[in-house]
Amino acid sequence: MAEATVVRSEGSDPGQASDDLVTREDDGAVAILRVNRPKALNALDAATLRRIGERIAEVGADDAVRALVLTGSGTKAFVAGADIAALRDMNPEQASAFSRLGGGVFRQLERLGKPTLAAINGFALGGGLELALGCDVLLAADHAKFGLPEVTLGVIPGFGGTQRMARLIGANAARLWVMSGEIFSAQEALRLGLVYSLHEPEALLPAAIAWAHKMASRGPLAVAAAKSVIDRGLDLGLDAAIELESQAFGQCFATADQREGMDAFLAKRRPEFRGQ
């Protein structure tokens, strides 16, 4: 599989507008973003990273959207890494700037106050896996392939992969996969707890959208608070994390959504959350 670690990019189509690098469609309260460079297996260059950031900002500012699904165009790749052709001749300063660009965009995704799901429809290698790791929940096609193969190119992951992999699957397993650069299967990703579930390719996106709709139907302030508490609590001791949860729990009772949710439960009707 080593040949799959290097994306041989043909670049964007000459007439491809920046809007087309990451497309957006909405399914009710769920926004679906697709990284759209299929000729380059959706590889990440600077323009694509910036466009991902712009799309995330759009979703964050759109009150009608309450959940996000991120996937790749085509059937071969979610995102098959950074664009090696664009990286080849960078000097150390340029490489550090590129790392900070991608790392900042993925942190923006991670901090989005709405649930995010990655529908991994093919190769998720290098920067592609790092992009997926910025999402709250990862689902994958059963033929998907995963890996952080940067050491096979003489570099290391630069968009947060070393840190998020260790936090998600443990330092021991992260060392194995990062330091070997080996590619692994969707089944291994499931065993490691990297992904939540596997699906037939045609069922993957519908499954991700269905989960996104479930999350979108819940109290948006409560969902955002739950996301924040889980993420922030991972870096705290248990006592401090439980105190963080208690504070967030209390803050929910200052919202109209809390009253609506509990009134609806007692009245045996569906709640109408407004994010207030």
- Looking at the predicted structure, is the pLDDT value of residue 13 above 80? no
Q: Which two tokens stand for residue 182?
A: 């080996």
Of the candidate ranges 81-85, 89-93, 109-113, the one whose mean pLDDT is the lowest: 81-85
Q: Is 273 left (phi over 0), alpha (psi -120 to 50) or beta?
A: beta
- Looking at the predicted structure, is the pLDDT value of residue 126 above 50? yes
Once rounded to an integer, what is the mean pLDDT over residues 164-168? 94
pLDDT at 84: 84
Domains of the chain: residue spans and CATH: 2-216 (3.90.226.10), 220-267 (1.10.12.10)
pLDDT at 250: 95
pLDDT at 230: 94
| pLDDT per position as a tens digit, 96-113 | 999 999 999 999 999 999
pTM (2 decimals)? 0.90
Question: pLDDT confidence of 19, banded at 50, 70, 90?
Answer: low
Q: What 8-state DSSP symbol labels residue 74?
A: S
Mean predicted lDDT score pLDDT of the chain: 91
Residue 67 half-sphere exposure toward CB, CA atoms < 13 A: 25
Give the separation between CA 175 and CA 252, rounded to whole angstroms: 39
- Looking at the predicted structure, is the pLDDT value of residue 12 above 70? no
Question: pLDDT confidence of 16, banded at 50, 70, 90?
Answer: low
Active site residues: 130, 150
Share of the chain above pLDDT 70, in %: 93
List, in order, residues 6 or more apart from 28 with CB less than 8 Å away: 213, 216
- Looking at the predicted structure, is the pLDDT value of residue 3 above 90? no
| pLDDT per position as a tens digit, 182-233 | 999 999 999 999 999 999 999 999 999 999 999 999 999 999 999 999 999 9
CB-based contact 129:82 (threshold 8 Å): no
pLDDT at 17: 58
- Looking at the predicted structure, is the pLDDT value of residue 157 above 90? yes
